Amino acid sequence: MTSSPGTEVLLPPASGAWREGDPPGRRRWHARDKPLPLEAGGALPGVRLAYETWGRLAPDGANAVLVLHALTGDSHVSGPAGPGHPTPGWWEELIGPGRALDTDRWFVVAPNVLGGCQGSTGPDSRRPDGRRWGGDFPFLTQRDQVAAEVDLADALGIGRWALVLGGSMGGMRALEWAVSHPGRVEALLLLACPAAASAEQIAWADIQLHAIRADPKWCGGHYHDAAPGGGPHVGLGLARRLAHVTYRSEPELQARFGRSPQDAEDPWRGGRYQVGSYLDHHAAKLVHRFDAGSYVVLNEAMNSHDIGRARGGTRAALRRVTARTLVAAVDTDRLYPPSHQAELAAGIPSADRLRVIRSPYGHDGFLIETGQVAALVRELTR
């Protein structure tokens, strides 16, 4: 990295994961008291989930809502950035008094996914013998992640969720909850997610994984104790650039940036276009707050997503869902296109017609169009 005279560049840590000794922020933790059996075989010892809550659990536990985050999200759904939380809440406008998830009525729980890097057990975490997992962290599936969340629900005294909701990777886990544990999900909101990862979605993820693993600083996944600047930031940044293009729509990028150069830079002489600068910005943000190892583990778990695996196929699996269900697609989503959500809406017996979120923003519309998402939440909880 370079800097202009009189400025100092802050090198990113080897891993952007939350670590013991960092400010806890709003996080709480639940530690499983026995190893977690994994779908691919073996077991993961020392499992701990970080989570945040809003509101108060009713004496009968009937007012609990589970919010599940997407790939680079975390448990901080609502609240400001600050010590322990590098970014503000990613669904800030959805949770709080008088909002769709009214905390005077609902007890909202948001865990950081197993394999993540913001307080839950993942590649940056230490094994029982004190060494970091690094590249030896085991392969996880969505079902493993939900199994860890079931353990958290049991610890909190929640036998049945009034609502489970999530988008993208969070939607995959929400669907897995409703199929694996139909008696524990009363209502379900699925946003911009499929019944199974498609070949194209796996292909996009595969390129990102290759970018990270090709970084000389990847070191087989064992880089977490390197000095600042010593992690696979180039690879993670490339992965983020590619992913971000799939998260937005072509019309939006054209309308925002077109072919405009960045400030006074001349693209014909090595300068950048505005859209390139935009991608650089998002890459730089991610390497300061995320872990490349978690990015690999979570992408592999998303690639494994197939609700019909060992259940007689997709149709048979979807028929297990008993929750009142709404499925919503983003009309401009090119990563998880509306046809994937149409399959879910058609296959879940309790689902209403497919709902469509109108947005110019592509896949990220499920995060940005909070007014439309709030209307869906209110429809399920009225």
Catalytically active residues are 168, 333, 363
Contact (CB, 8 A) for 55 and 76: no
* Dihedral angle of Cα 302, 304, 310, 313, to the nearest 10 degrees: 70
367-372: long-range contacts at Cβ-Cβ below 8 A with a sequence spacing of 24 or more?
367/70, 367/90, 367/91, 367/167, 369/330, 370/91, 370/92, 370/93, 370/94, 371/93, 372/328
Adjacent-strand bridge partners of 101: 95
- Classify the C-alpha dihedral 196-325-245-234 as positive or negative: negative
Name the H helices within the chain: 142-156, 169-180, 199-213, 233-247, 250-256, 274-289, 292-303, 314-318, 338-347, 365-368, 370-381
Q: What is the DSSP letter of 215?
A: S
| Alpha-carbon distances of 102 from 108, 157, 162, 323, rounded to whole Å | 9, 20, 13, 21
Length of the chain (residues) = 382
CA 135/CA 159 separation, integer angstroms: 35
Rounded Cα gap, residues 231 and 286, in angstroms: 13
What CA–CA distance (Å, rounded) separates 334 from 192? 10
Q: Other CB atoms closer than 10 Å to residue 294's CB: what's the count? A: 26
248 contacts 255 by C-beta, under 8 angstroms: no
Q: CA 177, CA 111: separation in Å to the nearest integer?
A: 14
* Tokens of residue 372, six digits: 């439309």
